[in-house]
Amino acid sequence: MEEHWVSYNSGRHFLQIPGPTNVPDRVLHAMSYPTIDHRGPDFQALGADVLERIKPVFGTTNPVIIFPASGTGAWEAALVNTLSPGDQVLMFETGHFAKLWQNMAQRLGFEPELIESDWRHGADPAAIEKRLSEDRDHEIKAVAVVHNETSTGVTSRIAEIRKAIDNANHPALLLVDTISSLGSIRYEHDAWGVDVTVSGSQKGLMLPPGLSFNAVSDKALDASKASRHPRSYWDWQEMLGPNDAGFFPYTPATNLLYGLREAIDMLEEEGLQNVFARHDRHAEATRRAVTAWGFDIVCANPAEYSSALTAVLVPDSVDPDALRRTILENFDMSLGAGLSKLKGKAFRIGHLGDFNDLTLAGTLSGVEMGLKRAGIAHQSGGVQAALDYLAETAGSAAKVA
């Protein structure tokens, strides 16, 4: 038989970036349902269902507004609905995405003030409290924080930030980005006193990109009525009236909403607390592998380790992008690149979404094989360290009904 080269890769591609994540077959099948009249009764039932059942995922009983957009759109909606031109916003530089949100706020005509950091720690509640205490005239109208910084694998302590704002006796709104944490890491919009929670569909919610979310407090809704910033597409008030009846003011992403309904079914069937425990366990297994290989983790504070992804620092002699190419070309697996300050210094392993022990084992095996094939100095046994932990803890977490 004549030998010839083919481009087909057998098996399934491992998409182990920190989002978009692998879309479960159940969600893909749901999204294939026929598109229906978005003014008809069948859509009304779908809209009312997802608008109500998404609330517990955020930990709220208040409205959750769904836009046909990426998470970037939800960033903009959070700002333009609650602030007026020239308003000051206190932000914390936890990483690449916090910086992008700051840039957006500036372009929209607000005055963002960024507290700088080393990108290895989460937002510092003490620093926020100190700055707000100095703002005696309450010129700062909002504090904006990324809960889980996708570029660094660092999770900020939102409940402590809320306490810091309260300790300063400051009326600032609290805006939180949960784009890479919602549905993966414990989050409580109401209990933690958050005013606007921003999120997107393509990570813990297990959908393709295309839906974005604002969960809003009563205080945020009042602020939206007083805001003088121009807005149309992003206007909460335009959404809330139709949403009350299960509809949207413009053509919605019907097939993504089918997928969202299925994704919520999956989260409910597993139980949110079990979802969070699963992510915690897989993150710990990943960190054990990284440590065993002899590499450092970008997140320097164990209390702030992300359960959605692990960002791995490499020695100066290692090109992480060359390693990622080696892994993609040889093992058909995609890993996340280092962004901005971490470009050429780190790579990221995503372990969130529809994910199980064997998927993680395959992911870490791909990394270890890639390290060996690329000739990168490392200690052996990272995969084994993770497997030992997974075996020891299998079934150990009590299932919550």
CATH of the domain at 56: 3.40.640.10
Indicate the residue among 268, 301, 329 that finishes a domain.
Answer: 268
- List the alpha helices (DSSP H) in 83-216: 96-107, 125-134, 158-167
3-state secondary structure of 358: helix
CATH number at 366 reads: 3.90.1150.10
- Is a pLDDT exceeding 60 seen at residue 41? yes
3-state secondary structure of 94: coil
CA 199 to each of CA 28, 77, 206, 384: distance values in angstroms, whole numbers, following the listed order: 20, 11, 12, 35
What is the tens place of the pLDDT at every residue in 327-346? Answer: 999 999 999 999 999 999 99
Residues 76 and 200 in one domain: yes
Q: Report the distance separating Cα 310 and Cα 18, nearest Å.
A: 9
pLDDT value, residue 401: 44
Is residue 399's pLDDT more than 60? no
158 & 29 share domain: yes
Residue 387 pLDDT: 98
Of 27, 18, 106, nearest in space to 309 by CA: 18
Q: How many domains does the chain have?
A: 2
**Domain match, 257 and 305 both:** no
Domain with 163, as residue range(s), is 25-268
225 and 282 inside one domain:
no
Beta carbons within 10 angstroms of residue 97's beta carbon: 22
Amino acid at position 66, single letter: I
C-alpha span between 23 and 207 (Å, rounded): 6
Q: Note whether 258 and 275 are same-domain residues.
A: no
Q: Write down the pLDDT at residue 78.
A: 98
Quickly state the pLDDT bin for 9 (edges 50, 70, 90): confident
In a shared domain, residues 241 and 342 = no
- 47 & 110 share domain: yes
- Per-residue tokens: 294: 């002899």
CA distance 229 to 81: 7
Q: What is the pTM of this model?
A: 0.96
Rounded to the nearest integer, the mean pLDDT of the chain is 96
343 found inside a domain:
yes
Considering 222, 248, 268, which residue would you say is the last residue of a domain? 268
Based on the fold, state whether residues 263 and 278 are members of the same structural domain: no
Q: For 342-356, write each residue's pLDDT tens digit.
A: 999 999 999 999 999
In a domain, 185, yes or no: yes
Indicate whether 136 and 160 sit together in one domain. Answer: yes
Q: Residue 397's pLDDT is what?
A: 54
On whether residue 67 sits in a domain, the answer given is: yes
Q: Is residue 9 part of a domain?
A: no
Structure tokens at 246: 């299960």
The verdict on 87 and 170 lying in the same domain is: yes
pLDDT at site 335: 98
